[in-house]
Each structure stands twice: as structure tokens, then as C-alpha cells.
Amino acid sequence: MSQRKTAEERAITFTGGTLDRADQLRVNPDRLAVAWADPRARIIRLDGLDPLPTDEGMLASDPVPAGAQLGDHALLGLREDGAPVFISLIVEKKDEPPVFPPKVWQIVPLLSHAEAALYGGARSLVDWHDRHQHCARCGAQTHAVKAGWSRQCGTCSAEHFPRTDPVVIMLAEYEGKVLIARGIRFPPGRFSALAGFVEPGETIEEAVRREIWEECGVRTGRVDYLFSQPWPFPSQLMIACVAQALGDELTLDTQEIAEAMWVSREEVRAALAEAEDAAFQPPSPVAVAHHMLRWWLGE
Amino acid sequence: MSQRKTAEERAITFTGGTLDRADQLRVNPDRLAVAWADPRARIIRLDGLDPLPTDEGMLASDPVPAGAQLGDHALLGLREDGAPVFISLIVEKKDEPPVFPPKVWQIVPLLSHAEAALYGGARSLVDWHDRHQHCARCGAQTHAVKAGWSRQCGTCSAEHFPRTDPVVIMLAEYEGKVLIARGIRFPPGRFSALAGFVEPGETIEEAVRREIWEECGVRTGRVDYLFSQPWPFPSQLMIACVAQALGDELTLDTQEIAEAMWVSREEVRAALAEAEDAAFQPPSPVAVAHHMLRWWLGE
């Protein structure tokens, strides 16, 4: 196994953000108003929920326009020079049919590493506001509070916080091979690591073992954490692990998994090199699964 | 450092559940109806949201009463002998003022290890249903679907899944000491590890470094994952880590932290032994922070 390296050190997409989130400003209306009035303040401009990269790999942004309302914006944080960065919570989503791979996966690599991380968090936050205009407790309208880091119900006062859903994503390892799978929504040839949401009442390791068992019928023992990635489609925390399989016989849950197979290091190497005779197409470099395969090769 | 052991191997409370979650039954109405009609099926009985332990350390439960509706219940899973376990989604919460430590922390240790894990997941699920009767998208009423593992809106059809909020909880380590803190809601003398919610757009390691910086003003470098715990008050995934501090000077966020201090192994040992002259009262054995201190002692 290669040495222990975090996702930031591996330069995995959406990690390595450099903004100071300045959480103390979120609950301090006076300091927040000062940030909003700062002449250096910028508002990130999106295209629907997609980023608009500049030629320099930055997110497109504008100064705060006259008449804009602070309450319609979230404070994402402060740049190293102290310049505040905001984003509008009013989003015009585009009603496009889903494609695979999504168009945004081709746009994100045009951003610098740190800007992609800023974009990821911003997209998750804005999308959460858009999908949570009402109070789950009583159904009434909610409004953004704490500089866009929570929503409050105008009727029952319940406070709601942005969701981040922990997902385990894992390689099962057995006699020098790892288990990869093609989900039923993936195009032919495209394989990735198994993954699934952590459910209430289980640890990371228990979720890893359950998912491998449910999806491929393989029992596993020891589980090791590798690294993690925030995934903004819409807002997952991807927790990458490796599990030691106790056997290699596969029984697929065909509601979820179209195909699964054990692959050797040579096969993984050929796939990542996009060799013509590769056994499978690897996950996108944007996805943490790509880096899990690189980790397994010792890269 | 002691060897790598999971939370289950450390017998941490709420881990080590033995039920088969039988997720394939959730989406199969025929098989679900068979489980509901199984004469061995039991419904866990709670006291508000608190458990009712039997003398044998099991959760109190009843057979399915005549006239009970499957749609008002969640399937928690199957026992080893195949007996289905359900829980009612209709909860009568008690309106009691919060006390510290909560009464439920004294009841949970009366359950066997596996039953406490079953209880934790069940409590989170039931409480989530209770607090999510409406659609966050449009405000209309939602109803339980998939054997209680999601809710669907009757008006806009949006589907909502149980929340599990990832929280980092961590010891910062510096020259043979670790950093512990007393939150502003903790009684005098009671210290624990620092903790905070993972936000959209950050990795586990980034959240650890941000929280230690925000709450105590300490910069940290390397972060290692230790183990995790599902925490059902109401539904967190506690991700325990250790971070290497780059200095020991403290600047507290007094909105969150009443006191913080660096403690030696002798001080931690005395506190866990509940010595009369101990420097602090340790976290409850129910909490993962307790086990983080034991891990640090090499136990």
C-alpha cells in the first residue's frame, strides 16, 4: 500500500479550498453588513448551477450591484486578502435532460484546483436553498438566515441546516484484485467503485460491509479509510475506503448493478491509461473513484 | 499509537448492530407484506423516543396488533432467525426540559450492545419522520414509503431520505498532550473533544482543521481518522480523528467554548478513573469522545 495521503495532497477535485469560511461573520449582522459593503466584495456568477470559468481558471464574478439584497445571498468566505465572496441564493435552474457524463464534469477541470473547491461548496449550498424553500416540520415558507448557512421557518421558527449526506465508496480487495461495478445508469463499459449512503445507526465500516454485501453478495472483513471528497451533485461527502473480501463469488443486486468484476493491477493500469484493449473505461478524474484506483496502483 | 481498531471492535455504544437491514424488502411490496404478516414479527415499543429495556437487555417489543397499518411502520430489518422487526412511525414525544446528562444516556447501557445499536438507528429514523411531515420543496404533506426508509410528497412527488449529518470530533495533539474543551452548554468541570458539522465543500480533514482553528485558534497539520459512531441525538455520524497541532496557544470562540486546555496522559488517566483530584470530568462512556481518550492512552 502506498503512504497515507489526504485528498487535498492528492489534488482530488473539489478539495483544497483556500477561502476562510469566516463563520463568525455569519452570526454577526454588523460585521456581515461591513463585508457586504466592502468595495472588494464579489458575487460568484453561475450558469444555472454550472460554473463559468474565466481564462485564468477563476469563477466568473461581479461586484455587488446597486440594490442587491444581502438576504438573497450567502457569504462563502473571505479570500486571502480579506475580499468577501458571496453567491446569490436565487437560481435559475436549466431544465435539461440528464446526460452521462454530465456536461459540468468537463467544465470543472477548467477551474483552478482551489476555485473548483469553492464552486463545489457553493453549488451544494445554492442547490440546497433552492430545494428547501419550505419547512419540513410545518410546511410554511422558510427564509435564509446566518448569511445563507441556515434557513428559518417564519411560522414555527424551526431552523434547518444545509444537508451533507455521507456516502461510502469502496474497493473490495481479494487476492491481488479489486471489485468494480457498472451501475444500471452507467453506459456500457464504464465501471466504478461500489458506493452507497450511510444509513442511520451504522458506522462507516458497517456501511461499507453492508453495501458490498447488498450489491455484490461479497462478505468483507477489515475496512480501512483512505480519503474523502465533497461531491456537489447535489451534496455528498464521499468517504473512500478499502475492504478485505473474504471470497470472490458475486451475487449481484440487479436493481442497482448491471455488471461487476474483479480486476488486476494490469487491467486497472490499462484502463487508467485509456488503452485501446482495456477491460473497462475508468471513472472520470473528477470522481474520487478514479483516485481510489490510482491509490491502489500505489500512485 | 495503539493498533487500528474499529468502533465495533472497541464495543462503542450504538455500533455493532446485528440486524440484517434487508433493504431488498423495502422496495418489494409483496415480500414486505409477507414480513408484516410473519407471526414472529415484532414492533419495538419506545417511551417517547427513549428505549424500554427488558431485564435481558432487549428492547421491549410487541407482536403486530390486529388492525395495525404497515404504512405507519418502518421495517428495521430481520433478526438472525429471520424474524422481522418493525417500529411505529407515530411517536408521542415528551415535552421535558433538557437536562445534562440526558436521562436516555443512563437507560441505553441497560441494553445489550447489539440492541443499543438497533435502538440508535430506530430512534434516528422515527425522529426524522416526526420532524419531516412536510415537503421541503413545496410544503405539502409527505407520507412514508419504502418501508419507512423515505418519504414522498403527495403533491410534487419529491422524495426525501433520512438525514445523517457527518460531524467531525477530534483531539488535537501537541508535545504529549491533547486539547479538550468545555462547551458553553456543558456543566462546570465536564470536558470533551472538539466537534463540529462537516460543511458542504470540505473533506473530513479540512473540517477537522477548520473546527480546531475556529473554536480554539490552533493550526493543525496531519489528520488521521480513528473510528466512527452513529449518534442518535438526533442523527449524526460522528467521525473521530486526531490532528497534529502546530502550536499550543489558545484563542477561544467564546460563543461556543467556555474553557479549553491541553492535558497529559496522566491527567486523562486520572479523569477516566474518576479520581477525586482529576483535572476534569471525562465524557460519558456512551459518547465516542470517551473512547477517543482511551485510544490515546493506548487502551
Average model confidence (pLDDT) for chain A?
Answer: 96
Q: Which of A8, A149, A160 sits opposite B205 (nearest CB)?
A: A8
Rounded to a whole number of angstroms, the distance from the CA of A189 to the nearest CA of chain B is 26
A3 pLDDT above the threshold of 80: no
The number of beta carbons lying within 10 Å of the beta carbon of residue B230 is 29
d(CA A71, CA A89): 9
Q: Which domains does chain B have, with CATH numbers?
A: 23-160 (3.90.79.20), 165-296 (3.90.79.10)
SS3 A226: strand
Q: What is the pLDDT of residues B231-256, one digit of tens each?
A: 999 999 999 999 999 999 999 999 99
The string of pLDDT tens digits covering residues A165-189 is 999 999 999 999 999 999 999 999 9
Chain A with chain B: Cβ pairs closer than 8 A: 176
Angle at B60 between CA B54 and CA B66, to 5 degrees: 145
Is the Cβ pair A137, B138 closer than 8 Å?
A: no
Residues A17 and B200: beta-carbon distance below 8 Å: no
**Mutate: best of B151, B155, B164, partner A, most A CBs <10 A:** B164
* Partner B contacted by A198 (CB < 8 A): yes
Q: Which residues of A touch B226 (CB under 8 A)?
A: none
CB within 8 Å: B165 and A164? yes
Coil, strand, or helix at residue A160?
strand
As a residue count, chain A comes to 299
pLDDT in tens, A45-88: 999 999 999 999 999 999 999 999 999 999 999 999 999 999 99
DSSP letter assigned to residue B115: H
A165 lies within 8 A of chain B by CB: yes
pLDDT at B2: 46
Nearest-5° Cα angle at B108, B89 to B105: 100
Q: Which of residues 57-116 of A touch B (CB under 8 A)?
A: none
Of A7, A200, A232, the CB nearest to B230: A200
- Is the complex ipTM higher than 0.95? yes
Closest chain A C-alpha to B279 CA, distance in angstroms: 30
How confident is the model at residue A299, as a pLDDT? Answer: 82
The neighbouring-strand residues paired with A281 are: A190
The answer to whether the CB of A118 falls within 8 A of the CB of B202 is no
Each residue of B52-93: pLDDT tens digit?
A: 999 999 999 999 999 999 999 999 999 999 999 999 999 988
Pick the residue of A5, A203, A220 with the most B CBs within 10 A to test the interface with B by mutation: A203
Question: Are residues A223 and B134, on separate chains, in Cβ contact within 8 Å?
Answer: no
Cβ separation of A134 and B133 shorter than 8 Å? no
C-alpha cell at B205: 480533514
Shortest distance between the Cα of A166 and any Cα of chain B, in A, equals 6
**CB-CB under 8 Å, A6 with B162:** no
Q: Is A264 on the interface with B (CB under 8 A)?
A: no
Minimal C-alpha gap between A21 and chain B (Å): 9
Q: How far apart are CA B116 and CA B121, in angstroms?
A: 9
The chain-wide mean pLDDT, for chain B, equals 96
What distances in angstroms separate CA A169 from CA A234, A295, B5, one per listed residue? Answer: 16, 14, 20
Q: Please provide residue B171's backbone torsions phi and psi, each rounded to the nearest 5 degrees.
A: -100, 130
